[in-house]
Structure 1
Amino acid sequence: MLVFSKVFVGNLHVVRRPVSVAISCWFLIFGSLSSMVSAIQGRNDPAMLAWMSRSAIPAEVQYAIVLATLAITLATALAMLQRHRGARMLYAVWGLIDIALSLATVPDKTVVLPGTMVFAVICAFLFSPKSNAYFSPRKAANDASMMAA
Structure 2
Amino acid sequence: MVKRPFLVTISCWFLIFGSLSALVSSYLGRNDPAMQAEMGHSVISAEAQYAILMFSMGINLVAALAMLQRQRGARTVYLVWGVIDIVICLATLPVKMHVLPGALLFAVICALLYSPKSNAWFSPRKAANDACMTPA
Give unpaired runs (5+ residues) of structure 1.
1-13
Aligned equivalent of 2:24: 37
Work out the CA distance in 1 between the residues paired with 2:128 and 2:99: 40
Q: State how 1:1-149 maps to structure 2 within 5 Å.
A: 15-139=2-126, 142=129
Of Structure 1 and Structure 2, which has the larger fraction of its residues in strand?
Answer: 1
Overall identity of the aligned pairs, in %: 66
Q: Matched residue of 2:35: which SS?
A: helix
Amino acid at match of 1:92: L
Work out the CA distance in 1 between the residues paired with 2:54 and 2:124: 32
Aligned residues: 132
- Write out per-residue CA displacement over residues 87-129 of structure 1, whole angstroms, 9 at most, x where no aligned residue: 0000000000000000000011111111001000000000000
Shift in Å, 1:135:
0.5
Shift in Å, 1:56:
1.0
Work out the CA distance in 1 between the residues paired with 2:129 and 2:71: 17
Amino acid at match of 1:95: G
Work out the CA distance in 2 between the residues paired with 1:91 and 1:141: 25
- Which structure ranks higher in relative contact order (CA pairs < 8 Å, sequence separation ≥ 6)? 2
Structure 1 residues 137 and 15 mapped into 2: Cα distance closer, same or farther (>3 Å)?
Answer: closer
Task: Please report the RMSD computed on the Cα atoms of aligned residues, expressed in angstroms.
Answer: 1.7
Shift in Å, 1:139:
3.2
Of Structure 1 and Structure 2, which has the larger fraction of its residues in helix?
Answer: 2
Shift in Å, 1:142:
4.9
Q: Matched residue of 2:31: which SS?
A: coil
Q: Structure 2 length normalisation: TM-score?
A: 0.91
Q: Structure 1 length normalisation: TM-score?
A: 0.84
Amino acid at match of 1:105: T
Give unpaired runs (5+ residues) of structure 2.
none
